Amino acid sequence: MKINDNKVIGIIGLGLMGTSIAAALALKDQKIIAVAPMGSDLDKEAPKRIRHFLEKCQGEGLTGKAPEELMENIHFTTDYADLKSCWLVIECVVEDLDIKREVFKKIEQVVSHEVMITSNTSAIPISILQADLEVPERFYGMHWAEPAYTSPFLEIICGDRSPIEGAEQLYEIAKQWGKEPTLVRKDVRGFITNRIMYAMYREAFHLVENGYATVADVDRACKNAGGQWMAFCGLFRYMDLTGLKAYHAVMGDLFPELSNRKSVPKLIDDIAKANGNGVFNGKGFYDYTPEEAEKWKETFEKFAFDMNRLSKKYAAELEDISNSNNPKQ
């Protein structure tokens, strides 16, 4: 498949992530066809949210352009037919296999066979999502992180029927968008980050539910241990930096002790079944007044911009050598 990057990209679903991705791409002067599939309140609020993200980006120095000018890159619509001019479509609707399948069907009805279709799914295997497509070979996972306009993260994932060449082209284009992409060469549930993060979540629940530590202590330990170096380097580099042999010695003893539970932990099950949704309704692992929830959201947004600056600064310092010391696999 030959990619024709005409800088027109479709985004379907203008919720939390769809709007964040639209802002990230508008910042890079891509033209966006932003499809609000439901015309829901969430979708109607999308232009306001994107403008807010772009204002923040301008205020934080991520762009010299005014939000109004960048907003001109985005065409809002409820009509899938407007996707015709795109070279790439990013599906970003709710995490529901049947709904995503319906959306792919509607996309394929209007775009030509050369158009690449991707999904921002968090965890549905790409091979399952692509199975019913008319042209499954045009389909990849494109997994963004929130906030997409500050995070350098972008995971490109192959399904069983996605040629690696297409993924490699998407990978190169993602670099032009200012990302530090990762490539998942074979489909695996959870991809890279969610596999690693969920292994951590499982262990965190194990520690709390078995009385070893409180939620707050586990949070503090994560923030002050991994949190202090993970934006600088990854797990393997960290073992190199701090003495690989010690990790080798600990693994033999510790791995058999780690949680390998298969069911959803009761702690989160109880909160979710009582409709708790964290800062979004004030009920989570902690309780929040509306003011506290707002303060956490605002401060997290500010932190993401600072992290963006910090990680770019240190990546630039290591740019000359980071490609030369080849990894073992």
CB burial of 240-263 (b: ≥16 within 10 Å; e: otherwise) equals eeeeeeeeeeeeeeeeeeeeeeee
Q: Which is nearer to ligand NAD, 222 or 225 (CB)?
A: 222
| Coil, helix or strand at residue 158 | strand
Q: Which is nearer to ligand NAD, 54 or 148 (CB)?
A: 148
Q: Which is nearer to ligand NAD, 14 or 62 (CB)?
A: 14
- CA dist., res. 226 & res. 204, Å (int): 13
Where on the phi/psi map is residue 95: left (φ > 0), alpha (ψ -120 to 50), or beta?
beta
Q: Which is nearer to ligand NAD, 86 or 157 (CB)?
A: 157
**Residues for the chain: how many in total?**
329
Residue 77: φ, ψ to 5°: -155, 165
* Nearest residue to the partner ligand NAD, using Cβ: 15
Residue type, 217: D
Least distance in angstroms from the C-beta of 36 to ligand NAD: 6
Can you give the C-alpha Rg of the chain in angstroms? 21
Residues that bind ligand NAD (CB under 6 A): 13-18, 37-38, 40, 42-43, 92-95, 99, 103, 120-122, 144, 146
Q: Which is nearer to ligand NAD, 1 or 42 (CB)?
A: 42
Least distance in angstroms from the C-beta of 166 to ligand NAD: 21
Count the alpha carbons within 13 Å of 90 in the hemisphere toward its beta carbon: 26
127: Cβ contacts below 8 Å, ≥ 6 apart: 159, 160, 161, 187
Q: Which is nearer to ligand NAD, 27 or 93 (CB)?
A: 93
Least distance in angstroms from the C-beta of 151 to ligand NAD: 10
Contact criterion met (CB below 8 Å) for 181 and 155: yes
Least distance in angstroms from the C-beta of 20 to ligand NAD: 8
Least distance in angstroms from the C-beta of 297 to ligand NAD: 13
Least distance in angstroms from the C-beta of 218 to ligand NAD: 21
Residue 221: φ, ψ to 5°: -65, -40
Q: Which is nearer to ligand NAD, 92 or 156 (CB)?
A: 92
Number of H helices and E strands in the chain, helices first, is 15, 8
Least distance in angstroms from the C-beta of 194 to ligand NAD: 9
